[in-house]
Amino acid sequence: MFVKSIENKANSFYIGFGKRLFDIAFSLTFLLVLSPVLVTIWILVKLSGEGPGLFKQTRIGKNGSTFILYKFRTMRYSPETDGLSITSRDDNRVTALGKYLRKYKLDELPQLYNVLKGEMSVVGPRPESKKYVDLFENDYSYILQISPGLTDYAALEFRNEEEVLAGHEDVEEAYIDVVLPKKILLYRKYINEMSFQTDLKIVIRTLLEVIRI
């Protein structure tokens, strides 16, 4: 399923070595700097109700490998529904604290650990569940030649994804038919333009978007 065919010779050094060095430096720095914030959020999530402080879910990584994605838990804990990954603005499973964490993308901070471990990159297509990867197998055979990331063009374009999905009766159907195909086009755009300059531009835009809210 997963083949090697990325044509980006001009940035081969960055893709092969520099990108990983950037990931390590970025994730390690922010994990150290934000450690008091991470601990505080974990405590607040634990105090907000029953259940773990972290939400863990299996996602598909580079070349089809699987890994455990980490987030701060933003929903009421329920073993029966804890695996559902698509939510809308009106999802009543989201806690009051969870709404705040989601708004400022603070629930995603534990993924810095995924980046440090090499399971994710700072910039790259957002990691998906196997269910959705299988639905777009041909596209993901190309996209998952690189590691999934914290942010990219699609993450910026669909920053308010929950708002987009809120207007649809069937949230998952809308995600599959409307949102994900557009994301895939943006994933391909990123791969075609992948470079240190592109990554830096996307990181800066992401930080500015978070600050602006």
Kindly report, residue by residue over 142-168, the tens digit of the pLDDT: 999 999 999 999 999 998 887 778 777
pLDDT tens-digit series, residues 58-74:
999 999 999 999 999 98
Residues 12-24 have a mean pLDDT of: 91
Q: Give the sign of the dihedral formed by CA 145, CA 151, CA 153, CA 159.
A: positive
Residue 119 · residue 147 · CB < 8 Å: yes
Q: Kindly give the pairing relationship between strand 121-123 and strand 149-151.
A: parallel
Query: What are the extents of the domains in the chain?
Result: 9-212
Residues 107-126 have a mean pLDDT of: 97
Q: 82: pLDDT confidence band, cut at 50, 70 and 90?
A: very low
Q: 81: pLDDT confidence band, cut at 50, 70 and 90?
A: very low
Residue 31 · residue 113 · CB < 8 Å: yes
Least confident of 27-36, 68-77, 125-134: 68-77
pLDDT, the chain, mean: 88
CA-to-CA separations, 166 to 15, 49, 88, 141, in angstroms, rounded: 37, 25, 5, 30
pTM for the model = 0.88
Q: Is pLDDT above 60 for 134?
A: yes
